[in-house]
Amino acid sequence: MGTALVYDEEMTKYKLLWVDPACKIEVPERLTASYEALVRSGLSGRCVSVPARQASDAEILLVHSEEYLEAVKKTPYMTLEDLKEFTLQYGDVYFHPNIYHCAKLAAGSVLQLVDSIMTGKVRNGIALVRPPGHHSMRGAANGFCVFNNVAIAARYAKQKYGVKRVLIVDWDIHHGQGVQYCFEDDPSVLYFSWHRYEHQKFWPHLRESDYDSVGKGSGAGFNINVPWNKVGMENSDYLSVFCHVLLPAAYEFCPDLVLVCAGFDSAIGDPEGEMCATPDIFAHLTHLLMNLAGGKLCAALEGGYNLTSLAQSVCQTVQTLLGDPLPRLANLRSPCISALESLQCARSAHRQYWSFLKHAANPPLPEISTKPIKLAKEEEEPAETAEEESSGEAKVWPEPPQRSCPPVCSASVLPDDVAGADGLKRLSTSGALQPRLVNKLKNHFTKAADDGDAVATISRLHTLMEKMLTNEIGNGLALVPDVAAATMCFAQDLASDLVDRVLVVCVGNATGLNYVTTDGRALVVHISGEDGEERKSKYYIPVRLKQGCGDTSGFLQAVLGLLLPLGYEYDPGLVLLGRMPESGVGDGMWQQLIGLLRGFAKGHTLVLMQANEEACMGPTASALLGHPAAPLQELGAPFPQDGDALERLRERLQADWKMLQTTGRMDC
Ligand SMILES: CC(O)(O)CCCCCNCCCN
Ligand SMILES: [Zn+2]
């Protein structure tokens, strides 16, 4: 199933008609720059084009009041003076004779996306729209927004398709207060937003944008705010919040549909956000949401005011929706202290609502000042410099890396063209494997199985990996006689011969895995139901689930809160996933694991399974081919001792692994 793209150039046909420094950045070129970049890159041609349409009155009234709609209906007939007058009653927004028409198209475009996804015409999609939506409220326009496109879409999906739970992820750099107000007492809509806040000094200066706004009444816990109190946030800050707040809550919420308020003013170069995350981060943010709700993801453009970074970010997002391998995120740093404080505050505020946080550390939080903030005059409306950049140096960043298109054969099961012992000889003579290595491998395997098929296995694995690294195939699945032996020998000898770092993930009980690499060429994460061998090295991490790998909520917490951050920090060139016999891990969880691991190493994942596990081959191949994992059924709380043990393990490891941190040093 494909990816829908909704775009209509009619939505470029309104603009600011008078001088207003607060609104001048919201220009029609935002849409044309985004769309033309998709056309130039060939991405628009790979999407299913879905036409825009005007939202009906009834659809707009799902969120807005009649008097507001009636008032906006009058704007097409207003004189310039009337429009200016009309605009004065709202904040940081402007009207135009054609903006009502465009606002209906913007809202209708997102509804078209919802229809295409809910009727199974496409898997996911994006709507390039303006005016944006997430600031507009029931009875008011605000922040360039007229109708709340995404809030209307959420209500529409529930009403028309009986969707039970909707997750709204708002990665725009501004707080979508309109969405928060709309759903704050509604437990069927989980709203997550991060936003530039600077302790209420940043627009829209709302006290309720802080982390302690968790929702009201039965909606308590279903509103998650992560305020950024400093500018300059980077990729590692964003990923930490996804791994340690959003994703665990999202999986526990188990949505039927994911809507994204896709604002790209959170990217580097944007004059509003002043952040430093690079456009390719949106490839990963999108990917991390794509295994929820069976892949039903609907993104709607919100902000983004630097046309270069906006266009690059839109392309990164669309290319991921299409299923292409992700770019590797180079040299992630430790999340900054301010980000860690925000992370810790959000986790603490939600501790009582989410089982994944039940065992989280609970250090005291700083006092939130309740006194109204006093904005210094210049902070109210920064004087517009002639050139935005001239106030600060113009940001420059590298063009996002060219992302390989999906290889022809994206998952290959042990090509049988390399059979028997001669295969290994061929490899060794071809120089692919030095003779010394051949002997080492052979004695590794001979104890596992008789010489013949052990040798055959080795040569097949090597072939599979070579094809992967030449991107001839994306990933692979290998059935081997002895998974533990194959995994270790592969990690120790084969893989480290061809890539700089191998992430080895072992699922299920096994011995002989505590293979110590001091040079860090392999990182082994072993998730099992029994004590792994004790940790001798930073690069061998046994994760024990007392309830075994069949405990999906414990397993998932280990994956999201430990494995993902470790993987991002380690940044492997290859992922090796070994499924030990009788691991007990469920098919759904297994597919989610594969889906998430595909985000590393440009999707180069090699799965090793015991030869007799045919039953699991189907689900494995499907996940390797990029089909969305089956949604996990409702997750209970992880067993107390597991939840507690995982939190303790994370705290112990964070000295070595910075991406595992979730608390800032907060002197209260
Ligand atoms: C969709 C969106 O969240 O990007 C809209 C942002 C509105 C910002 C209003 N203040 C602008 C101050 C100009 N320096
Ligand atoms: Zn914004």
Contact 590, 616 (CB under 8 A): yes
Measured from CB, residues less than 6 Å from any atom of ligand 1 are 22, 92, 132, 135, 143-144, 172, 174, 203, 263, 265, 302-303
Lowest-pLDDT choice from 163-167, 221-225, 437-441, 635-639: 437-441
The residue whose C-alpha atom lies closest to atom 11 belonging to ligand 1 is 22
Catalytic choice (64, 96, 134, 135): 135
Q: What is the pLDDT of residues 142-167, one digit of tens each?
A: 999 999 999 999 999 999 999 999 99
Q: How far is the CA of 134 from the centre of ligand 2 (A)?
A: 9
The residue whose C-alpha atom lies closest to atom 7 belonging to ligand 1 is 143
Q: Which atom of ligand 1 is nearest to the CA of 21?
A: 13
Query: Ligand 1, residues 92, 147, 228: which to mutate, most atoms within 8 A of Cβ?
Result: 92
135 as an active site residue: the answer is: yes
The residue whose C-alpha atom lies closest to atom 13 belonging to ligand 1 is 22
Q: What pLDDT does residue 375 have?
A: 58
- Token pair belonging to 647: 């939190």
Q: Is the dihedral of CA 607, 574, 551, 645 positive or negative?
A: positive
Instruction: Label residue 514 by pLDDT band (50, 70, 90).
Output: low
Give the number of the ligand closest to the Cα of residue 271: 1
Give the number of the ligand closest to the Cα of residue 202: 1
Q: How far is the CA of 114 from the centre of ligand 1 (A)?
A: 26
The residue whose C-alpha atom lies closest to atom 9 belonging to ligand 1 is 143
pLDDT above 50: residue 446: no
Q: How far is the CA of 174 from the centre of ligand 2 (A)?
A: 4
Q: Which atom of ligand 1 is nearest to the CA of 173?
A: 3
> Which of 86, 92, 3 lies closest to 44, judged by CA?
3
Query: Ligand 1, residues 20, 25, 144, 274: which to mutate, most atoms within 8 A of Cβ?
Result: 144
Q: Which atom of ligand 1 is nearest to the CA of 91?
A: 9
Average pLDDT over residues 85-109: 98
Q: How far is the CA of 272 from the centre of ligand 1 (A)?
A: 7
Q: Which atom of ligand 1 is nearest to the CA of 304?
A: 4
Contact 418, 428 (CB under 8 A): no
Instruction: Label residue 408 by pLDDT band (50, 70, 90).
Output: very low
The residue whose C-alpha atom lies closest to atom 14 belonging to ligand 1 is 22
Contact 515, 533 (CB under 8 A): no
> Which of 328, 323, 367 lies closest to 345, judged by CA?
367
Give the number of the ligand closest to the Cα of residue 301: 1
Kind plus residue range of the DSSP H or E element containing 258: strand 257-262
d(CA 558, CA 8): 43
Query: Ligand 1, residues 30, 110, 135: which to mutate, most atoms within 8 A of Cβ?
Result: 135
Which residues sit opposite 137 in a β-bridge? 140
Average pLDDT over residues 69-73: 98
Residue 555's Cβ-count burial label (10 Å; 0-12, 13-18, 19+) is: buried
Q: What pLDDT does residue 426 have?
A: 45
Q: What pLDDT does residue 418 have?
A: 35
Q: How far is the CA of 594 from the centre of ligand 2 (A)?
A: 33
Mean pLDDT score of the chain: 88
Contact 515, 589 (CB under 8 A): no
Q: What pLDDT does residue 622 have?
A: 86
Instruction: Label residue 513 by pLDDT band (50, 70, 90).
Output: confident
Q: How far is the CA of 9 from the centre of ligand 2 (A)?
A: 21
Give the number of the ligand closest to the Cα of residue 302: 1
Q: How far is the CA of 192 from the centre of ligand 2 (A)?
A: 14
d(CA 246, CA 169): 9
Q: What is the pLDDT of residues 324-371, one digit of tens each?
A: 999 999 779 999 999 999 999 999 999 999 999 988 877 666 666 666
In 171-218 the beta strands, taken as DSSP E runs, fall at 189-196
Average pLDDT over residues 583-609: 94
> Percentage of residues in the chain with pLDDT exceeding 70?
85
d(CA 527, CA 547): 11
Average pLDDT over residues 20-46: 98
Predicted TM-score (pTM) of this structure = 0.92
More reliable by pLDDT, 470 or 644:
644
Query: Ligand 1, residues 148, 170, 272: which to mutate, most atoms within 8 A of Cβ?
Result: 272
- Token pair belonging to 125: 């999609």
Contact 252, 165 (CB under 8 A): no
Give the per-residue SS3 of 54-94. CCCHHHHCCCCCHHHHHHHHCHHHCCHHHHHHHHHCCECCC
Q: Which residue has the tokens 């390719």?
A: 280
Q: What is the pLDDT of residues 201-233, one digit of tens each?
A: 999 999 999 999 999 999 999 999 999 999 999
Q: Which atom of ligand 1 is nearest to the CA of 203?
A: 10
DSSP 531-590: PPSP--STTEEEEE-TT-TT-HHHHHHHIIIIIHHHHHHH--SEEEEEE-TT----HHHH
Q: What pLDDT does residue 649 have?
A: 93
The residue whose C-alpha atom lies closest to atom 2 belonging to ligand 1 is 303
Q: What is the pLDDT of residues 603-634, one digit of tens each?
A: 999 899 887 787 888 888 889 888 888 888 77
Q: Which atom of ligand 1 is nearest to the CA of 384?
A: 14
Lowest-pLDDT choice from 20-34, 252-266, 442-456, 542-556: 442-456
Q: What is the pLDDT of residues 103-143, one digit of tens each?
A: 999 999 999 999 999 999 999 999 999 999 999 999 999 99
The residue whose C-alpha atom lies closest to atom 8 belonging to ligand 1 is 143
d(CA 551, CA 535): 23
Q: How far is the CA of 310 from the centre of ligand 2 (A)?
A: 12
Q: Which atom of ligand 1 is nearest to the CA of 174?
A: 3
The residue whose C-alpha atom lies closest to atom 12 belonging to ligand 1 is 22
Q: How far is the CA of 200 from the centre of ligand 1 (A)?
A: 15
